[in-house]
Each structure stands twice: as C-alpha cells, then as structure tokens.
Amino acid sequence: MSQESVTEDRERYRERLDELDETIAATMDRWGIPVLRVAVAIVFIWFGALKVLGDSPAAELVAATVYVVPPDLFVPVLGVWEILIGLCLLYRPLIRLGILLLFLQLPGTFLPIVLLPDVVFYVFPYALTVEGQYIVKNLVIIGAALVIGSTVRSE
C-alpha cells in the first residue's frame, strides 16, 4: 500500500469520525436540555413524594436542621414544595415558577453543613458522610437549574 493510499484512508476515517461526532453532538444538543429538565423534575417529585408519604431517609436530617418547626408539619410541606418544583419543570409555561421555588428551597439544603457539621463530615472539612454527599450533590442541581432557566426565553 502506498503512502498516498494510507493518507487517503486516514482522511476518510477522520471525515467519518467527524460526521459521527457532529451527529452525536447534534442529538445531544436536541435532547440534552429536555432530558435534563425531566430528570430534575423526577428527582424533585420522587424525593418530595417520599417526604409526603413519611418514607424519606432525609426526614431526620431535615427535622434536625429545621428544629423550630415541628417535623410532622415541616417535612410533608417541604415534600409538597418539592413536588410542585418537579411539576413546574415538566410544564413549560411554569418553568420560571419552578426555578423560583427551587432557588428558594435549595439554600436550606445546605444548612446542615453549618448547623450539623458532625453529620455532614466524618473528617472535617473534606471527608463527607453519605448525608454530606446527599447535600453536596445539590450543586449539580443548581447547575442544572441554571441551564434549564437559561432556556425560558428561547423555546
């Protein structure tokens, strides 16, 4: 096989890879935000429903953090709030409201870091417990909310 033939084969291979990459990127562009919106909605509806039903593993953490309101009242109300966030994210005209409710709720999820550091860290300030990991993952939800919120004027 000549050097020229090998070079041509490599170029065709690169072109095919580039076409595949373009197709994959276009598909991700088309579906990325809708899938993100539905995924975040499912998380909020699911976690909220667990609080309403009294089956949330986070209920104790919530109760220990917000000790000025009776947990029997606060945890289910928080669950309804979370369900509303999820439902708003599923229905395009209510995305703005869902993002507002989300950004009003999320700062409270970080309170245990300040109020209950012994529950959040097993080695302060870097080794997180499972509860700490549950809290820190909310940074991803904040990022997702910013991406979702950026679309409200474009679609």
Quick: pLDDT tens for 8-36: 889 999 999 999 999 999 999 999 999 99
* CB contact at 8 A, 102 and 85: yes
Quick: pLDDT tens for 106-151: 999 999 999 999 999 999 999 999 999 999 999 999 999 999 999 9
Q: Is the peptide bond before 107 cis (omega within 30 degrees of 0)?
A: no
pTM of the model: 0.89
Count CB neighbours of 151 within 10 A. Answer: 14
* CB contact at 8 A, 151 and 93: no
Quick: pLDDT tens for 79-109: 999 999 999 999 999 999 999 999 999 999 9
